[in-house]
Amino acid sequence: MMPTVVRRLLQASVVGLAALSTACSVLPQAESLTYYQLPAVALTAQQAPASHKNLIIQMNRPHAERLLASSRITVLPQGNELSAYKGVRWSDDAPALLRNRLADALRDAAQFRAVVLDSESVIADWELGGSLSAFQVEYVQGTPRVQIQFDALLRDQASGQLIQTRRFVAQQAVDGTAVPQVVEAFGLATDALSLQVTQWLGSLTVVTTTP
């Protein structure tokens, strides 16, 4: 006959293994994510003063609130309720996506001697930054649309002097409710906003001389 002590130890082991198995079965599984790039099209060159050809402009990552500063694809289903699409992410956070798209648009426009990012060790003449206060899908009377709002700040990098500010807003209706359709609408809205920015910068006649 099996000793009582040994029998109790075996019973405790069986109970422990059963509890461990049950605990493992209820652990949440890792969320399966799909990543999306921001669609973009090349912009045609915008007319700009000849003086711009001598300038280097630096694109800074705009400031944004916590959720907008993430890689979540945000949506306002109703009122001020800010949420996010499940199972999908941008390839980078929204401020970086906008910065990179604006930089590409300015390179396409060929207005400046060079367009650099704030992550690059280059001394620029101008720097363009600001704040991103909207980069989301909003439902208006049950219809989804993309809303982007960028408050731009253009500074002289050497002196830190503010040259100009401008608010840019772009909206784009979403042709459906599926995530790929949402992503396509984001691309169109960002292209429209990028065009506004390049036209604005092309209209400036401020001349900056580097010491």
Q: Which of 174, 5, 198 is nearest to 73 (CA)?
A: 174
Is residue 154 within 8 A of residue 7, CB to CB? The reply is no
- From CA 67, how far away is CA 69, in angstroms rounded? 5
> Which pLDDT band holds residue 211 (cuts at 50, 70, 90)?
very low
- From CA 157, how far away is CA 116, in angstroms rounded? 13
CA 9, 10, 11, 12 dihedral sign is: positive
Asked whether the predicted pLDDT for residue 209 surpasses 50, the reply is: no
pLDDT digits (tens, 9 = 90+) for 172-187: 999 999 999 999 999 9
- From CA 48, how far away is CA 174, in angstroms rounded? 33
The residue that leads in pLDDT, 160 or 19, is 160
DSSP string, 80-123: TEEEE-TTEEESS-HHHHHHHHHHHHHHHHT-SSEEEETTS---
pLDDT digits (tens, 9 = 90+) for 70-95: 999 999 988 778 899 999 999 999 99
Asked whether the predicted pLDDT for residue 6 surpasses 80, the reply is: no
> Per the structure block, which two tokens stand in for 179?
């995530």
Query: Stretch 100-115: mean pLDDT, rounded?
Result: 94
Determine the 3-state secondary structure of 1 from DSSP. Answer: coil
Most confident of 4-18, 22-36, 50-64: 50-64
Cβ atoms < 10 Å from Cβ of 10: 11
Average pLDDT score, the chain: 86
Asked whether the predicted pLDDT for residue 161 surpasses 80, the reply is: yes
